[in-house]
Amino acid sequence: MRFVKYKYLWLWSVLALMPMESISQTTQGKGQGGAGLIRDLMTLVSTAEKRIWQIDHYELDGLMNNALLCVCVADEATRHAARDRLNQLISEHGGDARAAWLKANKNLSEIDDLLTFHRTKTLLDRSVREAGDRCPFFLTPSPIYIERHRMTDRFFMATQGGGLLNIRFADQIRAGGGGSGRIDLGRGFDESWSLRVGTEMGGAGLLDESLNTNDIDLSFYFALPLTVRHRGLMWHQDMEIAPVALGAPWRDAMRWAVRVGGLLGLTYSRIGRVQPWGGLKISAEHAPAYKDFDPLTTVRIGLRFGVDIHL
């Protein structure tokens, strides 16, 4: 199995530094031009590669529907700009894939980046050839190409949830399992950065060091998280801050805490209006001493799964 590699962060950095003049020639006003079309197609290829890319012909067959949704709305200038840049990237990273593979002693991992560029170029060429016969009448080419697989310059909604390991440090250490769910409203500002704000509710059952199940502390919390996300080609990183209300309002005297957290995850290709993602999150919340309450700190670690909904 091919494991996910940090190569995608590097690939993204290459694409993000594309000469802006090649993009401006293909767009009027807002839009991402040839660079955006490449990112869209490369997102499709990279998502398929994570499932283990096998026979090119059949892998490409499976991508054609989503690829045409991108290519059908790109005008000829945008398609040419994308093709020219891909040819340049292929040349810069070894040229012919078979020759590069032989030069690398038949080690495929040494030419991963080159293979991704080749597959993206092949997908683009095939999509352009089939566009005339396959594109529906309502998908018409436009000089302004808007990326399909990221939120650049538009609003979106998002949901996420998952299990969490909770460790609370107070007068005694307690730990236990729990989970939380969240709804966000967000906006993308460019191809890399987005901001989202939402509401979250969660809870956990916490045990002390004796693991006495008759002494489980049921802990609830409510938060208003503000999250900044940086996205590469597929990898994304979140930084989050949030005010947190600790306790159950129908049972406890509520107290306030402040959260700081981060997440490292993967965003996959869009399915309809829905774009799934997953990642590993860690956060820490601190509630200062207040009246009869002692200070406490809670660390939460777990996998998060979510979807971004394109509006």
Of the pLDDT bands very low, low, confident and very high (cuts 50, 70, 90), residue 51 is confident
Q: What pLDDT does residue 2 have?
A: 41
CB 300 within 8 A of CB 282: yes
> pLDDT over 90 for what percent of the chain?
62
Q: What pLDDT does residue 21 have?
A: 38
Q: What pLDDT does residue 163 have?
A: 93
pLDDT digits (tens, 9 = 90+) for 117-155: 999 999 999 999 999 999 999 999 999 999 999 998 889
Of the pLDDT bands very low, low, confident and very high (cuts 50, 70, 90), residue 165 is very high
Place of tokens 């600790």: 246
Of the pLDDT bands very low, low, confident and very high (cuts 50, 70, 90), residue 106 is confident
* Burial profile 62-78: b = 16 or more Cβ within 10 angstroms, e = fewer: ebbebbbbbbbbbbebb
How many beta carbons lie within 10 A of that of residue 183, not counting itself? 13
Q: What pLDDT does residue 11 have?
A: 52
**175, pLDDT greater than 60:** yes
Q: Per the structure block, which two tokens stand in for 42?
A: 């490369």
**185, pLDDT greater than 80:** yes
Candidates 243, 232, 192, 5; CA nearest to 110 is: 5
Top pLDDT among 155 and 207 is at: 155
Candidates 282, 220, 216, 215; CA nearest to 251 is: 220
Q: What pLDDT does residue 101 have?
A: 86
**94, pLDDT greater than 80:** yes
Q: What pLDDT does residue 219 have?
A: 86
Q: What pLDDT does residue 213 have?
A: 66
pLDDT digits (tens, 9 = 90+) for 1-35: 343 344 444 454 445 444 433 433 333 357 889 99
Place of tokens 């001493």: 289
pLDDT digits (tens, 9 = 90+) for 250-292: 777 788 999 999 999 999 999 989 999 999 999 999 999 877 7
CB 184 within 8 A of CB 196: yes
CB 230 within 8 A of CB 264: no
Q: What pLDDT does residue 3 have?
A: 38
pTM of the model: 0.81
